[in-house]
Amino acid sequence: MTLGPIMLDLQGAELDAEERELLRHPQVGGVILFSRNYENREQLKRLVTDIHNLRSPHLLVAVDHEGGRVQRFRDEFTVLPPCRFYGDIYDQDKKRARRLAQHAGWLMAAELRSAGVDFSFAPVLDVDTGVSDVIGDRGFHQRPEAVADLAHAWMSGMKQAGMSATGKHFPGHGSVKADSHVGFPVDERSLADIRSFDLVAFERAIHYGLAAMMPAHVIYPQVDDRPAGFSRIWLQQILRGELGFEGVIFSDDLSMQAASVGGDIVERSHLAVEAGCDMVLVCNDRPAAVKLVDEFETEIQLASAARLVRMHGHGGHHWERLERMPEWQLARSALDPEFHLV
């Protein structure tokens, strides 16, 4: 069985009967976890193992684990600083900032891999212009060249730990005020302005080997009247055609308010897949998830399925072994001044 184009969420800390049935459906290919799905590391490991055991090849298990405001698992995990932490240091000491970003990417990925999680939707490649509250300190820096440099270091750390990186939110969410979770962001800038600013970090990340991309639920009317995640111009013509991106394209959550311009959940999913998304996310709306699995009809593209399989995590350590590794001790002590070995 190949991986299907739908990623769903779960209601609690273990799979219920309905979820087991949903996740076995051939149109499903992944699961995204949230804080409600986490009690402790051992419970998380059991949950991920249960999900992986449902299918072969196993379903992708993902999470948003950037650090700062967006880190779903905290107790018993290293609490990571927001990406702006590295950007602030970058202004004083670029080498140290890159080293810390690499430590953080490795630490985040290694700890998640110890529980079997395949990947985190990170890093954020949006440039923080001071306009967007939803981005804010989630962005590495206010200059795209610095974002690209720090993201490269973060991605290198993830790769060393056996995890692929996902850049978000293409082509850039940092210059609009509205939050796409609850509003309808519109960026009135020209394509030329976006190219010379926001796209710098995305293009460089692609050259650095970025494995996956998540487009923004933002409309850029001077380019297309559809949000980027529903736009063939952004995803096919610019991202794949001009920037040469060959990795996975994940939609952002199609339950978000800004995605509602695409119709009901089935219509939104068709628009996203037709625009070029390999996998669509539906979160925090179980009736919509059930409706989508029941009604979504699309032929699974072999190219998409092949790209998705490459997002499976590699390697991994038991937590006890991880804690004894010099790399873990160094990364933890570098990012947490209060960390001391017992």
Q: What is the mean pLDDT of each run of 10 residues along the chain (342 residues)?
A: 94 96 96 98 98 97 96 95 96 96 97 98 95 90 97 98 97 81 84 97 98 96 96 98 98 86 90 96 95 88 90 92 92 76 46
Bridge partner residues of 282 (DSSP):
8
DSSP state of 65: E
Beta strands in 158-203 (DSSP E): 166-170
Bridge partner residues of 60 (DSSP):
30
Can you tell me the distance from the alpha carbon of 167 to that of 78, in angstroms, rounded to the nearest whole number? 22
Q: Which residue has the tokens 């602030």?
A: 88
Sign for the pseudo-dihedral over CA of 268, 271, 274, 279: negative
Alpha helix (H) residue ranges in the chain? 17-23, 41-52, 84-90, 94-114, 144-160, 191-196, 198-207, 232, 265-275, 286-295, 302-309, 319-324, 326-335
Beta strands in the chain (DSSP E): 6-9, 28-33, 60-63, 65-67, 70-71, 119-120, 166-170, 212-215, 248-253, 279-282
Q: Catalytic amino acids?
A: 181, 252
**Is the pTM here over 0.85, yes or no?**
yes
Kindly report whether the peptide bond that precedes residue 217 is cis, defined as omega within 30 degrees of 0: no
Bridge partner residues of 213 (DSSP):
167, 249
Can you tell me the distance from the alpha carbon of 268 to that of 257, in angstroms, rounded to the nearest whole number? 12
Question: Is 79 within 8 Å of 303 (Cβ atoms)?
Answer: no
Can you tell me the distance from the alpha carbon of 220 to that of 9, in angstroms, rounded to the nearest whole number? 29
Can you tell me the distance from the alpha carbon of 216 to that of 253, in angstroms, rounded to the nearest whole number? 10
What pLDDT shows up at residue 342? 42
Q: What is the largest CA-CA distance in the chain?
A: 58
84: enclosing H helix or E strand: helix 84-90
What pLDDT shows up at residue 184? 80
Can you tell me the distance from the alpha carbon of 3 to that of 24, in angstroms, rounded to the nearest whole number? 10
